[in-house]
Amino acid sequence: MTEKSILSLAPYLRIKNSDRCSFGGSQTWFEKKDGFFDRTRHNGGCGLVAVCDFMLWYCLKNRLVPKNFPPSILNDGDYVLEKSEYLEFLRYVSRHGYPILPKFGSFSFSMAAFINRFLASVNSTKRIKFLWQNNPKKRLLLAEESIRNGYPVLFIIGPRVLSPGKRGVNFYRMDADGKLHLSHRNVSGHFVMLTGICRYQDLKKPVLFEISSWGEKYYISSEEYTEYIHRCSMPAVCGMFTLQEKS
């Protein structure tokens, strides 16, 4: 087994779904057949799910209840929710003005504005800030800082801008022996939650980002992500949101 160290939020947000717990929320829980709004959330709801995961994590970590939302959301503070509670929170966020556009989904600036309005409403001294950091080492350091402070990073895999086609970022699963297996190929135009960072003692191996997407845990290569930014997308539409003190 290859030696590695993993810096991770443990445990991350888990949602009870039938006989298992998901790793964060999933836009696929909205059924296309249930009408226009749920079909829009199913197809382009990754930004909504990322915003909800972040807000729920913040509420549970700081023992806060959003206005007009039942206190039961705090449960025992163990970051575990019923699927019905999670979907109600998604609808709560939608009712309070979170914008999703058919065929386009979410835009990063509207996501940041929505989260910052929420943080202001609970009198937080922090704000979410977009970092389009083009330096891979600095990007890694900023992500590590957020994880060490106990907060996930809202991570953006931007759309293909420079190279139309099917090229994107690969998602991998890691087995019990630490081996990676390709799960999803060429993902683009997608918001995920970065929940951990995996470094190998062998410096020739790329740093891995542990992420939550579609209710599952995946890993993406920091090298592949950087290559995708420069060859297919651009720094202005790729990057991450981290929680920082108000300036």
Tens-place pLDDT, residues 128-180: 988 876 788 888 899 999 999 989 999 999 888 877 677 899 999 999 888 99
- Give the Cα-Cα-Cα angle 30, 195, 47 (nearest 5 degrees): 35
Local confidence band at 111 (pLDDT 50, 70, 90 cut-offs):
confident
* CB burial string 22-37: b at 16+ within 10 A, e below: bbbbbbebbeeeeeee
On the question of pLDDT at 231 being above 70, the answer is yes
DSSP SS3 for 93: helix
Q: For the chain, how many structural domains are there in total?
A: 1
Tens-place pLDDT, residues 112-121: 889 999 898 8
Model pLDDT, residue 34 = 56
DSSP SS3 for 193: strand
Range of the domain at 232: 4-245
Residue 105 β-bridge partners: 101
Model pLDDT, residue 160 = 86
CATH of the domain at 227: 3.90.70
Please, which residues have CB within 8 angstroms of residue 209's CB and are 6 or more apart in sequence? 143, 155, 194, 196, 197, 198, 219, 220, 221, 222, 225
Mean pLDDT of 33-58: 78
pTM (2 d.p.):
0.89
Tens-place pLDDT, residues 5-29: 788 887 789 998 888 899 999 988 8
